[in-house]
Amino acid sequence: VLKMTDLDLNGKRVLIREDLNVPVKDGQVTSDARIRASLPTIEFALKAGAQVMVMSHLGRPTEGEYEEKYSLAPVAEHISKLLSRQVPLVKNWLEGGFEVAAGELVLLENVRFNTGEKKDNEALSQKMAGLCDIYVMDAFGTAHRAQASTHGVARFAQVACAGPLLANELDALGKALKQPTPPLVAIVGGSKVSTKLEVLNSLSDKVDQLIVGGGIANTFLAAAGKPVGKSLCEHDLIPVAQELMKKVNIPLPVDVVVATEFSETATATVKSVDDVAEDDMILDIGPVSAQALASTLKDAGTIIWNGPVGVFEFDQFAGGTKTLSLAIAESAGFSIAGGGDTLAAVDKYEIADKVSYISTGGGAFLEFVEGKVLPAVAILETRAAQ
């Protein structure tokens, strides 16, 4: 694909699609990782002398309606602070009528306030394209959506290219999945096999070891004939888990941390997987299992991590996720982490600078790992080939 960094942006109207879909509470941005990840792209365009317009969605507002709680106003304020310059938020921007000088920046209000955004409406896409000389797709986190601001606009813009954040994400994920240094080890945690089925299937063809955790591991334990008590477990997916275990090496825990209730104050007990009682809930992997997995991770050439292996929000069930996080941090292999819960663990154990690449994608990260085509990337490839 064409890259923004290879183009002359001087004096050009440059429309950049970022994923600034960040958590906001009481009018304040509570986690700005995605905003910070987009800054190098924005700063590059500003320095190059472009008239910069940045657009993004926030949340899932009702199509075509302005709703204050989904306004990008808190994001505009936050970027203003980070860049030490006032970044105006433009409300009704579709028809143009606003000024941006060269080397200046405006933020356009939530793209999902526009009717037709999610349906990738052609007329809407053409309007967006008309606002710019160069369209830059940089929102990796939304690249799995074929919407007007991620896909349609790229069809009609005079020039459509990839921004550095998108390009870096694709490089890093491609390195881990397409030319991994062996052994390739993946960790897939989270609560349900059903929501990660495609990821598990796709990874089972590629990895040397597939570590499962959280509720997902319970279904695999049940598939191996172990008692799971009243743990979260999808019994209907046991045959699927059995097939996966035939296909790829899935190391199961030998010890687990259980409790009889799911709460912050629940008493945690370490048990052998054979001793889980009927009223036990498995809420973490045990220390012996965690140590064994940690040594696997330290020797890995490549690590793909999505999802915690226990209820790490509660400290008594956080040991497994903590041990694995630190092992990933210590591993000399190339590691990538993605997904909301995973990034919360990365933050909690302060390993952000020790993971080789942290993806800004949630759903997009999973779809990439599943081997799916990301429509917002595919259209850039089509345009580049023209």
Residue 93 or 365: the one with the smaller Cβ distance to ligand 3PG is 365
Q: What is the rounded distance in angstroms from the CA atom of residue 221 to the CA atom of residue 203?
A: 19
**CB neighbour class for 357 (10 Å; exposed up to 12, middle 13-18, buried from 19):** middle
Number of residues that bind ligand 3PG (CB under 6 A): 8
One of 61, 74, 141, 375 touching ligand 3PG (CB under 6 A)? 141
SS3 65: coil
Q: Which residues pair with 136 in a beta bridge?
A: 16, 161
Q: How far is CA 309 from CA 62, 176, 284, 342, in A?
A: 35, 21, 6, 10
Which candidate in 103, 229, 363, 371 is catalytic? 363
DSSP state string for 122-171: HHHHHHHHHT-SEEEE--GGGTT---IIIIIHHHHSSEEEE-HHHHHHHH
**Which parts of 356-375 interact with ligand 3PG (CB under 6 A)?**
362-363
310 is catalytic: no
Is residue 348 part of the annotated active site? The answer reads no
Active-site residue flag, 363: yes
Catalytic-labelled residue, pool 3, 91, 175, 192: 192
Q: Which of 19, 117, 169, 234 binds ligand 3PG (CB under 6 A)?
A: 19
* Catalytic residue selected from 340, 348, 354, 371: 340
* Selected range binding ligand 3PG among 99-107, 138-146, 152-160, 230-238, rule: CB under 6 A: 138-146
CB of 139 to ligand 3PG, least distance (A): 8
Distance CA(386)–CA(383), nearest Å, equals 5
> What crossing angle do the helices spanning 319-330 and 340-348 adopt, rounded to 10°?
80
Q: Does 21 bind ligand 3PG (CB under 6 A)?
A: yes
60 binds ligand 3PG (CB under 6 A): yes
Question: Which residues of the chain form contacts with ligand 3PG (CB under 6 A)?
Answer: 19, 21, 60, 141-142, 145, 362-363
Q: Which residues are catalytic?
A: 34, 192, 340, 363
